[in-house]
Structure 1
Amino acid sequence: MRKSGSSIIFFILIGLAVIGVGVQLVTNPGAFFQNILVWVGGAVLFGALLYFILTRLRGRTATGGSNGDMQKYKKAVKQSKQKYKQPKARPVTKPANSAASIKKASAARKKRTIRDRSRGPQLRVIEGNKQKRKKSSI
Structure 2
Amino acid sequence: MKLTRAYQLLLASYAGTLLVLLAYTFRSPPQTFDSNVVLYATGTLYWALRSLPLLLFVPGLIKKSHKAASWLAYVIMLYFVFAITVLFTQGTELWGWLLLVMTLTVFITAMLFTRWQKAALRCHAEHNS
- Fold shared, TM-score > 0.5 on shorter chain: no
The structure showing larger relative contact order (alpha-carbon pairs under 8 Å, at least 6 residues apart) is 2
Larger helix proportion, structure 1 or 2?
Answer: 2
- TM-score, length basis structure 2: 0.30
Greater Rg by CA: 1
- TM-score, length basis structure 1: 0.28
